Structure 1
Amino acid sequence: MDGGAACSDPALLNAAALGRLMPLSVWVAPTGHIRAVGPTLAKLCTGQRLEERRFLEVFEIRKPQTAQSMEDVRRLVGRRLDLKLREAPRTGLRGLCVALADGQGFVVNLSFGISAAEAVSKHGLTNADFAPTDLTVELLYLTEVKAAVMEELAALNRRLQAAQRAAEEQALTDALTGLANRRALDLSLAAAIDRAGRGGAPFALVHLDLDHFKAVNDTLGHAAGDLVLGHVARVLRGVVRKHDFVARAGGDEFVLILAAPVESMLLERIAARMIAGIEEPVEFEGKPCRISCSVGGTISDLYDVPDADRMLSDADTALYVSKRQGRARSTIYAPGLSVPEDGAPATDSVRR
């Protein structure tokens, strides 16, 4: 039906048939009064009786131009309209006005346009509220399905990313102590050296080796040794700051990367706290496990260009100086430091 097509028999047009064909339509008499509205439009305006009210009292025509009279409406026949309900819910609508023959007035067929999804949700519309030939609901279903699929894909992606992070973390974690492992140490040390090489703040590299740990394993078994390693890990976590790094390098060896600020006196205080904490006995099956530790460290600003192998070697040298000096002590590397013969004093070192 369009502006040039007339109904030869007015009886063919009735409100029920019109409402079934176009559930969001308005039938307007030549006087401008509303004869009938489609069931979906009535649902939108629940509690309001639209019949017999004037069309322009119910609807505001906003585009392509405003309309103040039915003569203005007649001039808009066949053109796309933007309308809005003047009263709540003040829904915005799209429409097309078609003139009817034989003095039957006009039919304005309406739609929600791009606001269909919002309207369906807001007004609780279902498939029955749209014309059988209207694909709006089907498109909305497809949109919802697509949204659900996209959300599921996003959730799957989040799960995969979480699994990847967990796998990466597991690959960089010592299973027994929960500390970082040797691979993580290599990565963190390389990053610290890179920062220092680009003018960043200096850092300290500390090597710690347990004293008398083999005796615990030999006399009380590996379960006792595992218990002791867990104790050491807790002590080290409690001693370092949140931006420092602790790794179990293997066996009973641990390596720490201490971020700035670092200097010799600070390293001595941290080492003393580590030794004191680790020397606290751990009970295993009613028997005390007593160990201690020796510590060696070096600071990156001792080197023109910090190098991982060189720093690890120098920290090892300082560690073995501590061992030779009687264990349970710390040594900070200084240029020229060497491991003394048994009983001989260390040279060019700072000891505690």
Structure 2
Amino acid sequence: MDQNGDLVATMDVLCPMHVHLDCVGRIVHAGPTLAKLYPDGDLIGQRFLEAFELNRPHGVSSMECLLQVQGKKLHLKKRSDPQTGLKGVLMPHGDGAIVNLSFGISILDAVREYELNARDFAATDLTIEMLYLVEAKSAAMEASRKLNQRLQGAKIAAEEQAYTDTLTGLKNRRALDYILPRMVEETTPFGLLHVDLDFFKEVNDTKGHAAGDLVLQHVAKVLVDSSRDDDVVARVGGDEFVLVINGTTDADVLGRISQRIIKEVERPVPYKDSLCQVSASVGIAIHTGEVGASVDQLMADADAALYASKHDGRATFTLFTPDLRDSGPLALHS
């Protein structure tokens, strides 16, 4: 290989984004990385100022002018798409010149656009270090994103568990205490059914807690089947449940829902070689959406209606009326 060939090979390793210009500014050789910016191979033979638009210094329009800005930083970009921005410096060489180019701050876009990697840069180029840092940062960010997703998932699962009754899968009292005040605050009208089981203690005492758990799961299914997706079904005590019928304040509709619940709850539940049978009493209170309503008063009204159902012989429902407030509290455990 002659001396000129040795120089070309050396420059391709040390400055893989350089170009050799002849005496009239025509490109006669391009480094391997720069050649990747022109995959069709149409760079060789073009005049340098036809292939690249020189933005600074201004007024450079010929090879003679280029030679006058030797050693100065050149700000330029490709004329062909994509019009990647470049930095450069020119030094005379023989009858022509050598221009060494780099991507500058557009390096990350260029790496993606032209699918470049570390082998496309000189081993001592700080670009390689930056690419490694970017890759490490990307890996760290991806790991952080996945960790955040897992943490968020764990948080959601923990919150869901905190608001869920583990036996029945219904919402628990904590969930109801969170939901009801917000529905009242948002003046959302709804009907509230307070459901209490009759004779449940007898099932627990005679057949055991496993039988009682089976009955509670049966009741939970009845309540879910009697509600819609935007309704709220909660187990708020041992054998007490609350059903919030969102947007429904019609007493007849709430009565029919209560009748269905009472009928389905009374269906015997098979347990081993026997049947477990309970009934349900229901108290109904209605929130019409009025501003300033009290959740405590609403629950107290439902309790009063439930007490009236118990007093009337159980397995029935009662719609709250103001005169029921004089009935007084009563422990409602069968």
TM-score when normalising by structure 2: 0.85
- 1:60 maps onto 2:52 in alignment: yes
What is the CA-CA distance between 1:304 and the residue it aligns to?
8.4
- Alignment partner for residue 160 of structure 1, among 148, 151, 155? 151
Instruction: Measure, in 1, the Cα distance between the counterparts of 2:82 and 2:8.
Output: 24
TM-aligned CA distance change 1:31 to 1:227, over 3 Å = same
| Alignment-derived partner of residue 252 in structure 1 | 239
TM-aligned CA distance change 1:97 to 1:302, over 3 Å = closer
String of CA shifts for 1:268-317, please: whole Å, max 9, x gaps.
Answer: 01101111221222222243222210001212349885323332222122
- Alignment partner for residue 278 of structure 1, among 256, 265, 279? 265
- 1:113 maps onto 2:104 in alignment: yes
String of CA shifts for 1:116-152, please: whole Å, max 9, x gaps.
Answer: 2333344443323212331112101101211221222
TM-aligned CA distance change 1:175 to 1:16, over 3 Å = same
* Preserved contact between residue 248 and residue 254 of structure 2 (Cα < 8 Å): no
- Alignment partner for residue 311 of structure 1, among 263, 282, 298? 298
| Alignment-derived partner of residue 199 in structure 2 | 212
TM-aligned CA distance change 1:37 to 1:251, over 3 Å = same
Instruction: Measure, in 2, the Cα distance between the counterparts of 1:192 and 1:150.
Output: 39
Instruction: Measure, in 2, the Cα distance between the counterparts of 1:35 and 1:176.
Output: 81
| Alignment-derived partner of residue 184 in structure 2 | 193
TM-aligned CA distance change 1:21 to 1:169, over 3 Å = same
- 1:84 maps onto 2:78 in alignment: yes
| Alignment-derived partner of residue 100 in structure 1 | 92
What is the CA-CA distance between 1:85 and the residue it aligns to?
5.7
* Preserved contact between residue 43 and residue 51 of structure 2 (Cα < 8 Å): no
String of CA shifts for 1:170-216, please: whole Å, max 9, x gaps.
Answer: 11111101111111222222223323xxxx24333321111222222
What is the CA-CA distance between 1:322 and the residue it aligns to?
0.9
Instruction: Measure, in 2, the Cα distance between the counterparts of 1:204 and 1:228.
Output: 25
Q: Residue 322 of structure 2: SS of its match in structure 1?
A: coil
Letter in 2 for 1:100: P
TM-aligned CA distance change 1:125 to 1:293, over 3 Å = same
Instruction: Measure, in 2, the Cα distance between the counterparts of 1:95 and 1:109.
Output: 8
* Preserved contact between residue 23 and residue 41 of structure 1 (Cα < 8 Å): yes
* Preserved contact between residue 28 and residue 35 of structure 1 (Cα < 8 Å): yes
Letter in 2 for 1:95: K
Q: Residue 162 of structure 1: SS of its match in structure 2?
A: helix
Q: How many correspondences in the alignment? A: 323
Residues 27-38 of structure 1 aligned to structure 2 (within 5 Å)? 27-38=20-31
TM-aligned CA distance change 1:249 to 1:105, over 3 Å = same
What is the CA-CA distance between 1:47 and the residue it aligns to?
5.7
* Preserved contact between residue 51 and residue 78 of structure 2 (Cα < 8 Å): yes
Q: Residue 165 of structure 1: SS of its match in structure 2?
A: helix
Instruction: Measure, in 1, the Cα distance between the counterparts of 2:289 and 2:40.
Output: 85
| Alignment-derived partner of residue 343 in structure 1 | none
Residues 313-332 of structure 1 aligned to structure 2 (within 5 Å)? 313-332=300-319
Instruction: Measure, in 2, the Cα distance between the counterparts of 1:43 and 1:301.
Output: 72
What is the CA-CA distance between 1:327 and the residue it aligns to?
1.2
- 1:143 maps onto 2:130 in alignment: no
The runs of 5 or more residues in structure 1 that have no matched partner are 1-9, 341-352
Residues 218-229 of structure 1 aligned to structure 2 (within 5 Å)? 218-229=205-216
The percentage of counterpart residues that share the same residue type is: 43
Instruction: Measure, in 1, the Cα distance between the counterparts of 2:194 and 2:321.
Output: 15
Residues 231-250 of structure 1 aligned to structure 2 (within 5 Å)? 231-250=218-237
Instruction: Measure, in 2, the Cα distance between the counterparts of 1:61 and 1:124.
Output: 23
TM-aligned CA distance change 1:300 to 1:39, over 3 Å = closer
* Preserved contact between residue 204 and residue 297 of structure 1 (Cα < 8 Å): yes
Instruction: Measure, in 1, the Cα distance between the counterparts of 2:270 and 2:167.
Output: 18
TM-aligned CA distance change 1:244 to 1:55, over 3 Å = same
TM-score when normalising by structure 1: 0.81
- 1:41 maps onto 2:34 in alignment: yes
- Alignment partner for residue 179 of structure 1, among 152, 170, 173? 170
The runs of 5 or more residues in structure 2 that have no matched partner are 329-334
- 1:261 maps onto 2:248 in alignment: yes
TM-aligned CA distance change 1:202 to 1:35, over 3 Å = closer
String of CA shifts for 1:208-232, please: whole Å, max 9, x gaps.
Answer: 1112222222232211111111111
